[in-house]
Structure 1
Amino acid sequence: MQKKMELCFCFYLSFAVLLLQFSCSESIQEAKSGSADIIIGGLFPIHESVNAMGQCNRFSVGRLAQSLMMVHAIEQINQKKELGDIKLGYHILDSCADVTTALKNSLHFMQLNKSSNTDEKQQLSPPVKAVIGDYYSEISIAVTRQLNLEEIPQISYGSTSGFLSDKTRFPSFLRTVPQDDHQAHAIIEILMEHNWNWVGIVATDSEYGRYAVERLQHHAASHDICFAYIHFLPEFLVDKDLKESIGETVKSIVENKNVSVIVSFAKPDHMMYIFNNVLRHQRGKKKIWIASDNWSQSVSCLNTTRWSLRDVGTVFGMTLKSGNTSRFERFLRNIDKNPDMYQNNSFLTAYLSMTDDHVSGSNMSRQIQRLIHMTYPYAVFSIELAVNAIAQAVKNLCNNNRTCASQLKPRQLRDALGSTEFSIDGKKYSFNKDCDVDSGYDIILWRYTSPRTVDMNYKVAHYDIQQEKLMFDPNIESLFHQTKGVSSVCSRCNPGEWKIRQQGQPVCCFECKKCPENHYSNVTDALLCLQCDNTTHYSEEGSQSCTVKETVFLEWKDIYHIVLLASAALGVVLTLVVGIIFLASWNTPVVRSSVGPIALLLLFSILLTFGSVVIFGGKPNDWQCKTRQVLFGLSFTLSVSCILVKSFKIILAFEFDPVIQDRLDKLYKPYLIIPFCMLGQVVICTVWLVYMPPIPMKAYNIPNTVVLKCNERLFPAFGAMLAYIGLLAIICFIIAFKGRKLPQSYNEAKFITFSMLIYLIAWIIFGPVYKNITGRYHSAIEMTVILISAYGILFCLFLTKCYIILCRRSENTTKSFRADVTKFAMGKDSILDKKWPKDSSGIFNEGLSLESLPSPEPLNPVEDRRESINSIMKPSYDDPLQDSQPSLLDYNP
């Protein structure tokens, strides 16, 4: 009994399945042409989904229009008799955007062969020689595997998945559109054009979506573009997880504040759900959307009764190459005039019969107008290209032979398509090695026309696959760049900063650090700061560019230079005044005690020293650099040499030891000492100028400036010059220091000591200061020290004498000088014992005046001076101001 029940159950189950298949086959919607020599199959997603019961729903006017594009293209070829007597036909079925439905319906392309002929062995190939469709990649991947069982070629007008380029797995698949790798690259170009590197991705969880995202990630990695989130949505709208996936996607879009750009490879229905949910949130509005060709021109994505394009933001769309729609629009209008011509098209008949009770008969035109409105230019081009490719291949194979066409095998047609060259509007096309047509992409911009309408056909650019770059129309480029102010980055380093990668963070997320001094960056997100040319440019910390260094030198208008020049000019004037005073008072004791000729030579050297200061300023040139140090060195050497002679003269005049005095007399040759001292400096300066003379140069080691200066180059020679003067100054200092207690009227030793001390201290300080000071005032340091040295000699050796000459004339007399000498001599016991008169008690007698001393015969002032104090005091020339007694004032070297 149980076995009988099982048999009955199996029978009824089998009967139900057969009944279902029969009913389905009877109720299937399709579009067929009349009799034809070659039938071309068509598979279009005229319905966009299936319900839980497996029934097709969500009728798509746009997809119906695409199926009619195939009809129109075939009829055009037949009407023009491009194939001669060979007539093309069509058999169009609905895939309902569902893989299962598509596989079931595409079986009709294969099973019609068996139903049309009772002798299956004699029928070697099915009547459908090729199939055009489907639009979706996941459907084409499944269908082409099935069609390949009978080697039927399939030409898709919209399946762009890169997987289909694998000819080992899909040998019968061709397409008139480029694969998604090119679309991904075009999207990367858009992102790079706007510097968007922190982007969100939404895609359908399908072969198409997975491949597109993988290629987008591949190209993004080489351009430092990162993805904040990637969400895959279930392919089927009836999936129970769809609502949750939509919610997670909307949450990511709303919460990622730095993500302003979302790239979507989703289906139109998915985008409708996303927009309906994300636009409820204020943060979800006014984003930048980059639409793949999957939904870029689908009006069903946006519910314009609830939202407007201004709520969405900006939408860039990737569309396939556009074609001429005018011929197809005329075809649609002809349908409106004679709809009975296509009664065999159940899709069109059902669409045209959609009327409302309250609408008049004019509704027919309204339906056709809607078809025209839903005509996508890219679909016109791709479908027409597919039909033309099949027609040209048939023509090449059969050469207008109907018998050949009826016996043509699908494999022959498939093999011929790969090498066929076909054309549209005079332009030729062909399939590449992957059986794709690299026609490129158009980039469109959704434009707001009214709250309830959106223009989805406004082209702003074209992506050239061969050149791999965006091509802009100059007239509309500004519109494409309207979003350049929108930022979509994880981190942004402004110009003047460089980015430091953070471990564990995406490459687009980094820390920004200011460029150090003398470095700059002039672009955002710089990997490194560029170094300025330190010789000519500089930059502060965090600079965006290098600044040209200011070229500086001690200019004539510089206030410090003016002060130094004024000081030098004052020194020259004072020196000349002192010279005039000395010449006017030439025969006075003060001038005679200063060794008059030597004093004038000393004044001349000081004049030269003040003059040398002038050539230390201004813009350096070759002659100036060679002259300034040499002039100063020789002039100041002459000054110190004169002072050395004066020091010797004072010590020699008051040295009372006959032995020492005799030795000093032999050494004391003033007009030989001065040239000899000068000779040493001349040798040093000559070697310097001949071997490596000073030259003008630019100093680049100064921040922010280039300093024009003289480069002494041979610093040992410069040091030797100063050291030589210093050696003479030290000798003067020692000799003068020894005579610091001589008579007040003759005591230049104190002032020589002080002037040499000023010189030595000034130049000792000068060394390290000159070495460390940089900039325009480098030369001013030496100018200052020279002025100090010159003024030290001028003031110490001549100011007091001029004061006596001009203001204390009573002290500028022979009597005053003799009294000073007498006072000095009274303090010298040895001299008093030998040379000066004493009374009987042995004490010096003040009553014994110098007049009582005997006056010997005239002697040579130097050689005979040691004989007695009287001979030393004997006058050497007549002086009306001098009395009859001898005096040391008469001594001249």
Structure 2
Amino acid sequence: MDSGCGVGVFYLCLVTTLTWGILECSSYTRPLMATKEGDIIIGGIFPIHESVNFTNSIDGRPSPRTCSRYNVARMLQALMLIEAVETINNSTLLGNLTLGYRILDSCSDVTTAVYVTQRFLDVNRTVCQDVWTAEDRTHRTSTDWQPVDVIIGGYHSEISIAVARQLSIHEIPQISYGSTTGLLSDKSRFPAFMRTVPEDRYQAHAIVDILVRYGWNWVGLVTTDGDYGRYIAQRFRERAKEKGVCIAFSTVLPDILDDRDLKTVVNETIANIERDDRIGVIVSFAKPYHMMYVMHALTPNATGRTWLASDNWATSAPGVLQNSPLTLEEIGTVIGVTLKSSISASFNRYLESLTADHANNNTILRQYLWWLQTKGQSTAQPGLGEELKKKVYPYAIFSVGMAVKAIASAVKDLCADRSYKGGKHFQPWMLKNALRNAAFQWEPNGHPYAFDERGDLNTGYDLILWRQNGQEVDMGDIVAKYSIESGNFTFMDGGDTLIANLNVTSRCSASCPPGTRKIIPKDKEVCCFECEDCTENKFTNATNMETCLECAEGHWSGTRSQECREIEEVFFGWEKPFAIVLVSFSALGIVLTLVVLVLFLARWNTPVVRSSVGPVSLLLLLSLLGSFSSTVLFVGRPTDAQCQARQVLFGLSFTLCISCVLAKSLKIVLAFRINPSQSLAKLFQPYLIIAACVSVQVVICAVWLTQSAPRPRRWDNQNGKVILLCQEGSIKADGTENFLYFGLMLGYIGALSLLGFAIAFQNRILPDCYNEARFITFGLLIYLICWVVFGPIYAHAEAGEDQPAVEMMVILFSAYGLLGTLFLPKCYVMLFRREANTKEAFLRVIREHNFRASLDQAAPEISLTSHSSELSLSMHSSSSQACLVGPAGETEARNGGPSSVMQLVHVAPPPPNTPVISETRCDVVVVKNRKKKDLIRCNTVH
């Protein structure tokens, strides 16, 4: 540096010369460069500028290519190489050997990169002396320049591919810190290429895994035309298809900077986003300057989306959002996938100590310092290092630093037994082989790294989230790390929740929840589907399953089920509260029946018992015991014996009960309505009638048990239960139950009940002490109502575990009805009205009934026969027969006229040994009623 020129003036003059001066041998702007001599020279290719301005000349002469858009972050990457080399030289790793470097600016342009690479290779040409010191320009010639031994760079895959083709000719090893395309893994075409980053196939896997994790299966795809864009887009499509992720649209942005179609394709991309509001996520593998055009063209209907950025532009927020009319919040959310990052305390100290002296032989840094001066900022300001640390790409610290460490480790292994001082040097292919076998670490005693057989270093990825920080965008928020070996994300504290809370939806169709299956129409994408409920005994336990799974044997599921449940067998068991209640009523009925039975036996010779046809009443009580007992068989697990016994026991016992009631009704008719002298009365045999009625039911039950006996049956319902019930009949072809014999049994009992009801109803107006017909009417009426209601309900009701309780209740109601109407009044008289349970009381009731019946006659004269009345109650055959007969004589009974005489006649002469209860004289009394009619009342005297 000339001492006679001020530092600021020198910087200004030098940068102006470097920027606008044209080399004599080409049309390229003199590139920025940083150099340092050493025993091993490392070449560096860094995209310090992001683009090249080029205009084709009219006359065909070479037009100048001017680098534009200086990138401070890329400049810092070049400083990372410088700092790493100095760190190695200051250590004892290489002994007396030192590393040197020559770093050139590729301007993010393939043609420019090829040009600067040629300068590394073409040692016979004059190397630009303008960038060296005055001493270098005076003493050095082209033959003095030591060729590079290894090259670090470039960053973009297209540049690395072009450079690798040049270097492969000379077998000069190349280590990229950012090129990720899988094409460079082909060692047949790029034998000398290596990289400290994984290839794009893994990045495509990581991005698809993010989409799958958050259910984003309907996405847009944007990429830049070129080797990198085509390769990673193809890998992404393949992986997305495997994982069920669909691409709603795909656009390829042309890579030619002055392509007039670029704006058209950008507008097409925006239109695709606007057209489908189901697209909430766009995956982009485009270059930063392409994304800048896209972000500038966003319309209100295209904002608010989530952008998944590849490593190509995930750390280029300043360039992408440069001069954008929209803020990051308006654009949406940017989630970036970057290469593995790290921090370096030594590089931070280097930036903090950075001064103008570091710009010696470094026009890359010198231009940045000049740019600061043009803004009026001092290059010696204390905060310069802090400002630069904010612009550092964390991934570059790791990838650039690992490249230098790999070279140092390979040189150490290669030079362990040799001395390369004094002009001796190894061949490039020897260093390439040493690099392939080298093992190196980022930190002392840290995880060892090595290149694989394809020259790749599979270090993994970081997932970052862009955040607005004042006027700048913070890209250092790492929310997760991706491991290539395991293929899984490890989220930082709250990282997973942070992304999930973005509430991003990007699906063609809503997910099919568990319990449904996914149906994909033939004419639609796999992501556009319909959901169908799983049928019974099938289930799905995850979202978007395409097939409903069958339930295992012994398990069951309903419609739209998420799991199968073990089938539960249910029946009307003893543990159910309602069963306990009904059984309690059954036991109470049995006890009451036994009490009545004992009471009847204890009062056997009393008029109440004898007038109730005692033996028939005992038989009736026994039948009620059978009816009450049959209800107990309706509780518990159904078995063959139980199903058959309960219906047969009920049928026969209740038939016996109704037969006894029918016999009692017929007995009353004979006693009060029919002349005992008639042949019909003589043929009446109650026990034969009872036996005949029961015999018919025995035949019905026997045929029933023979043809289609009741059997236990399993009834499936919709609650995962199997109901165990007794099948009362055979099953028809349509699956319904045939109740023929069950209906015959109940119908026969019903027919007997109707007959008994009709007879009893006709004889309900009898002496109170003989008024069983009234109670029989009530008892049979209760029975008929219960079974009329029960029949249709039972026949049409669906099977249920409480179905036996219905029949059980009907039987109890019927039995209690007969027990209560036929026996409880008599028990009440025997226990609490003993004065009414005497022969005298019975005779008095009969006489009163006779006179009431006489008063109801239309004729004014009533004769009861015989001048000398004598009423005889015959108890023969335990049956009272006191009959009223028609008039035998007529008299007048008006105002002293002839008197009407009421005569009581013995209709049925008692047997010789039958005692005469009493003699009664009847005095006729004529009275006037309210309707002024003459009524006759008989005052009886015992």
* TM-score bracket for this pair, using the shorter chain length: 0.7 to 0.9
Greater shift after overlay, 651-660 or 623-632? 651-660
- Cα distance between partner residues in 2 of 1:618 and 1:712: 11
Partners of 2:50 and 2:68 within 8 A in 1: yes
Identify which of 393, 397, 418 aligns with 2:414: 397
Structure 1 residues 651 and 410: CA distance shift in structure 2, 3 A:
same
Shift, 1:177, TM fit:
0.2
- C-alpha distance in 2, partners of 1:700/1:114? 94
Q: 1:813 to 1:637 in 2, by over 3 A?
A: farther
Residue among 482, 496, 507 paired with 1:489: 507
- The SS at the match of 1:354 is helix
1:267 is aligned to 287
1:256-289 Cα offsets, whole Å, 9 max, x none, are: 32222222211121222222221xx333333222
Q: CA deviation at 1:466?
A: 0.6
CA distance in 2 between partners of 1:876 and 1:220 (Å): 117
Does residue 379 (structure 1) correspond to residue 399 (structure 2)? The answer is no
2:104 to 93, 98, 114: 93
Mapped pair 1:27 → 2:12: no
Does the C-alpha gap of structure 1 residues 393 and 882 become closer, same or farther in structure 2, counting only changes over 3 Å? farther
> Could you tell me which residue of structure 2 aligns to residue 327 of structure 1?
346
Q: Using the TM superposition, give the Cα deviation of residue 136 of structure 1 relative to its aligned residue in structure 2, in angstroms.
A: 0.5
Of the three residues 89, 107, 113, the one matched with 1:78 is 89
Matching residue of 2:73: 62
Shift of 1:519: 7.6
Q: Which moved more, 1:635-644 or 1:720-729?
A: 720-729
How far has the Cα of 1:348 moved from its partner? 2.4
**Partner Cα distance (2:406, 2:218) in 1:** 42
Q: Who is 2:430 aligned against?
A: 412
Offset of residue 367 of structure 1: 6.0
Note if 1:244 corresponds to 2:268.
Answer: no
| Partner Cα distance (2:428, 2:746) in 1 | 112
1:453 equivalent to 2:477? Answer no
Could you tell me how far apart the structure 2 residues matched to 1:785 and 1:482 are? 62
Report the CA distance between 1:108 and its aligned residue.
2.0
Does 1:158 find its partner at 2:161? no
Q: Give the 3-state SS of the residue equivalent to 1:92 in structure 2.
A: strand
The answer to whether structure 1 residue 773 and structure 2 residue 794 are counterparts is: no
Partners of 1:481 and 1:526 lie apart in 2 by: 23
How far did 1:26 drift?
Answer: 9.4
* Structure 1 partner of 2:357: 338
Are 1:602 and 2:620 counterparts?
yes
Contact 1:554 1:777 in 2 (8 A): no
Checking the alignment, whether the CA contact within 8 Å between 1:634 and 1:682 is kept in structure 2 is: no
In structure 1, distance between residues paired with 2:176 and 2:152: 6
Alpha-carbon contact 2:197-2:457 (below 8 Å) kept: yes
TM-score by length of 2: 0.70
Change (3 A) 1:507 1:660: same
**Offset, 1:547:** 14
Q: What is the CA distance between 1:321 and its match in structure 2?
A: 1.1
Amino acid aligned to 1:57: S
Checking the alignment, whether the CA contact within 8 Å between 1:515 and 1:542 is kept in structure 2 is yes
Q: Distance in 2 between matches of 1:673 and 1:744?
A: 29
1:782 aligns with 2:797: no
CA shift in 2, pair 1:585/1:174, >3 Å: same
- In the alignment, the residues of structure 2 paired with residue 358 and residue 380 of structure 1 have an alpha-carbon distance, to the nearest angstrom, of 28
Q: Trace 1:99-138 onto structure 2 (pairs within 5 A).
A: 99-112=110-123, 127-138=147-158
Give the conservation status (yes or no) of the 8 Å contact 1:616–1:779.
no
Match of 2:487 among 462, 468, 489: 468
8 Å CA contact retained: 1:37, 1:406: no
CA shift, 1:608, in A, is: 5.3
Aligned to 1:439: 459
**C-alpha distance in 2 between matches for 1:670 and 1:94:** 127
Secondary structure of 2:54's partner? coil
Q: Report what 1:712 is aligned to.
A: 726
Provide the identity percentage: 39
1:84 match: secondary structure: coil
- Post-superposition CA distance 1:276-304 (Å, at most 9, x none): 221xx333333222211111112222137
Q: How many pairs are equivalent?
A: 808
- Cα distance change of structure 1 residues 360 and 261 upon mapping to structure 2, 3 Å threshold: closer
Q: For the Cα contact (< 8 Å) 1:352–1:364, is it kept in 2?
A: no
Q: 1:683–1:503: structure 2 CA closer, same or farther, 3 Å change rule? A: closer
Q: Provide the C-alpha distance between the structure 2 equivalents of 1:308 and 1:722, rounded to a whole number of angstroms.
A: 84
8 Å CA contact 1:555, 1:617 repeated in 2: no
SS where residue 222 of structure 1 aligns?
helix
Structure 2 spans left out of the alignment, 5+ residues: 1-21, 56-64, 128-142, 731-737, 830-835, 855-862, 870-875, 880-905, 921-942
Aligned position for 1:3 = none
Please give the alpha-carbon distance, in whole angstroms, between the structure 1 residues aligned to 2:219 and 2:300. 19
How many angstroms apart in 2 are the aligned matches of 1:736 and 1:100?
117
Aligned residues of 2:180 and 2:198 also touching (Cα < 8 A) = yes
1:685-700 equivalence runs, <5 A: 700=716
| Residue correspondence of structure 1 range 350-369 to structure 2 within 5 A | 350-356=367-373, 359=376, 361-362=378-379
In structure 2, distance between residues paired with 1:474 and 1:357:
43
Whole-Å Cα distance in 2 between the matches of residues 877 and 718 of structure 1? 56
> Structure 1 749/151 Cα, relative in aligned 2: closer, same or farther at 3 Å?
same
Q: Deviations over 1:477-519 (max 9, x none)?
A: 5434431x22222221474765443332222223455667888
CA gap of 1:877–1:164, structure 2 versus 1, over 3 A, is farther
SS at match of 1:353: helix
CA distance in 2, matches of 1:752, 1:482: 79
SS in 2 for 1:466: coil
Q: What is the CA–CA distance in structure 1 between the aligned matches of 2:301 and 2:168, rounded to whole Å? A: 49
Structure 1 residues 40 and 594: alpha-carbon distance in aligned structure 2, compared to 1, 3 A threshold: same
Partner-residue secondary structure (3-state), 1:182: helix
2:191 to 154, 163, 171: 171
Deviations along 1:564-605, one digit per CA (max 9) or x if unpaired, are: 9999989998998899799979665x9657532112331343
Moved more, 367-376 or 752-761: 752-761
Q: Paired residue for 2:306? A: 288
Matched, 1:505 2:524: yes
Q: How does 1:736-755 map to 2 (within 5 A)?
A: none
How far is 1:65 from its partner?
Answer: 1.6
Q: What is the letter of the counterpart of residue 786 of structure 1? A: I
| 2:351 alignment partner AA | L
**Aligned ranges for residues 660-675 of structure 1 at < 5 Å?**
none
The offset of 1:548, in angstroms, is 12
Give 2:859's aligned residue. none
CA contact (8 A) 2:761 2:773 kept: yes
Equivalent residue letter for 1:65: L
Match of 1:889 in 2: none
Change (3 A) 1:809 1:463: farther
CA change 1:626–1:809 in 2 (3 A) is farther
Query: 2:172–2:428: 8 Å Cα contact kept in structure 1?
Result: yes
Q: How far apart, in 1, do the equivalents of 2:518 and 2:843 lie?
A: 84
Contact 1:554 1:617 in 2 (8 A): no
The separation in 2 between residues aligned to 1:600 and 1:37, in whole angstroms, is: 130
Q: Deviations over 1:670-689 (max 9, x none)?
A: 7995999699699989x99x
Deviation at 1:355, TM superposition (A): 4.6
In the superposition, relative to structure 1, how do residues 494 and 301 fare at CA in structure 2: closer, same or farther (>3 Å)?
A: same
Amino acid at match of 2:794: Y
CA contact (8 A) 1:518 1:541 kept: no
For the structure 1 residues 352 and 466, does the alpha-carbon distance in structure 2 shift closer, same or farther, using more than 3 Å as the test?
same
Q: Deviations over 1:5-33 (max 9, x none)?
A: xxxxxxxxxxxxxx976255893443322
CA distance, structure 2, for counterparts of residue 309 and residue 389 of structure 1:
39
Distance 1:291 1:736 in 2: 93
> How far apart are the structure 1 equivalents of 2:378 and 2:391?
22
